[in-house]
C-alpha cells in the first residue's frame, strides 16, 4: 500500500487532506502494530456512508425478526418460518444472504434445542411445546449485508433451559460492555466466556462471529474463547457480529454428515445463541441489528 503524504487526500474518501483526517488515527494503530498486536487494515474500516448502508439493511433484518416474533407458535413448521422470511425480504426489496450461500438451500437458519446453528428449515419439523429455537436472518439490501438472530421459547420450556436462553442473552450485554475503541476482541471474548462458565455453561470454540457489511462474512473472525488483550484491536468504523453459542453441556459439536450444514452439540444437550451486529464508534458502539 502506498504511503500517503500529509497533504494527500485521505484514504477514507472524505476528500480531506490526510493530515487533518486519518493520519493521527493511522499513527495510533501503527503504535499497536509495533507492539505486535493484530490491527485492522483500511479494508476492514467502514466509512460513514457504508455504515449507513448497513444500518438501512439492518432495518429490514429487524423487521423480519419482529414479524417472526409475532407469528411463531407451537405446531408451526420451520419451513413456514422460511416462507415468512423469504416473502418479507422480497416485499421490502431485499435479498436473503443465506439462500444459495455456499449451497445453503433456504432463506433462514432455524436451530432447535440441541442444534447449535445452521439448522435447515423443514416442512416435517413442527415446533413443539418446550422447544427453544434460534432464528437467524441475514439480509442484503442495496448491496449491504446485515445479520442477526433471536431465541424463541415455545410453551412450557423447562426452567433450566429458560435459564440457558437468558444467560445467552446476557452474554451479549456482557460482551457489549467491552466494545470500545482501542480495546481488543479478546477483551470481549474473555468477558463472555467467563460469564458463561460462571453460570455453568460452555462456549462453542470452532464457530464465532465475523465482520459484515460489504460481504456476508468478512474479517475478522470473532472468537469468544480467547483471552483479554489478544485478537484484533477494535477501532472506530469496524462492524462485526457478536453471537456466542452457549451450550448447556460441553462445548464439543459435530456437523450432520447428510446435509453438511446442521451443527449439533456432541452430548445432545441444548444450545442457545443471540446475534447482534455492532459498529465501533468514537466512544463505544452502535447496535445495528438486534
Q: What residue ranges define each of the domains in the chain, with the CATH number in brackets?
A: 39-289 (3.90.230.10)
Q: How confident is the model at residue 13 (pLDDT cuts 50, 70, 90)?
A: confident
Question: 3-state SS of the chain: helix, strand, coil percent to 5?
Answer: 30, 25, 45
Closest CA to 225 of 249, 253, 245, 199: 245
- pLDDT band at residue 81 under the 50/70/90 scheme: very high
- What is the tens place of the pLDDT at every residue in 19-68? 999 999 999 999 999 999 999 999 999 999 999 999 999 999 999 999 99
Per-residue model confidence as pLDDT tens digits over 93-144: 999 999 999 999 999 999 999 999 999 999 999 999 999 999 999 999 999 9
On whether the CB atoms of residues 285 and 176 are closer than 8 A, the answer is yes
Contact present, 189 and 203 (Cβ < 8 Å):
no
Which tens digits make up the pLDDT trace of 140-182?
999 999 999 999 999 999 999 999 999 999 999 999 999 999 9
Residue 212 grid cell: 459484515
Amino acid at each position: 500500500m502506498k504511503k500517503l503524504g500529509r497533504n494527500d487526500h485521505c484514504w477514507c474518501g472524505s476528500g480531506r487532506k490526510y493530515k487533518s483526517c486519518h493520519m493521527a488515527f493511522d499513527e495510533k494503530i501503527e503504535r499497536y502494530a509495533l507492539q505486535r498486536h493484530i490491527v485492522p487494515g483500511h479494508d476492514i474500516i467502514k466509512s460513514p456512508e457504508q455504515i449507513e448502508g448497513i444500518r438501512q439493511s439492518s432495518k429490514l433484518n429487524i423487521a423480519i425478526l419482529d414479524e417472526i416474533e409475532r407469528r411463531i407458535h407451537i405446531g408451526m413448521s420451520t419451513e413456514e418460518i422460511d416462507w415468512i422470511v423469504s416473502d418479507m425480504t422480497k416485499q421490502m426489496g431485499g435479498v436473503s444472504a443465506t439462500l444459495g450461500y455456499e449451497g445453503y438451500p433456504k432463506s433462514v437458519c432455524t436451530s432447535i434445542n440441541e442444534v447449535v446453528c445452521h439448522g435447515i428449515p423443514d416442512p416435517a419439523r413442527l415446533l413443539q411445546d418446550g422447544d427453544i429455537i434460534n432464528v437467524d436472518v441475514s439480509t442484503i439490501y442495496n448491496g449491504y449485508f446485515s445479520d442477526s438472530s433471536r431465541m424463541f421459547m415455545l410453551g412450557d420450556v423447562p426452567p433450566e433451559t429458560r435459564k440457558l436462553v437468558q444467560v445467552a442473552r446476557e452474554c451479549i450485554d456482557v460482551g457489549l460492555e467491552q466494545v470500545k475503541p482501542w480495546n481488543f476482541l479478546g477483551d470481549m471474548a474473555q468477558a463472555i466466556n467467563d460469564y458463561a462458565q460462571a453460570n455453568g455453561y460452555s462456549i462453542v470454540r470452532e464457530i464465532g462471529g465475523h465482520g459484515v457489511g460489504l460481504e456476508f462474512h468478512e474479517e475478522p473472525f470473532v472468537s469468544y474463547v480467547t483471552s483479554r488483550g489478544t485478537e484484533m484491536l477494535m477501532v472506530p468504523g469496524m462492524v462485526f457480529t457478536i453471537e456466542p453459542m452457549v451450550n448447556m453441556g460441553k462445548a464439543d459439536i459435530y456437523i450432520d454428515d447428510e446435509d453438511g450444514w446442521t451443527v449439533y452439540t456432541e452430548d445432545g444437550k441444548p444450545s442457545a445463541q443471540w446475534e447482534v451486529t455492532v459498529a465501533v464508534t468514537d466512544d463505544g458502539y452502535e447496535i445495528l441489528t438486534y
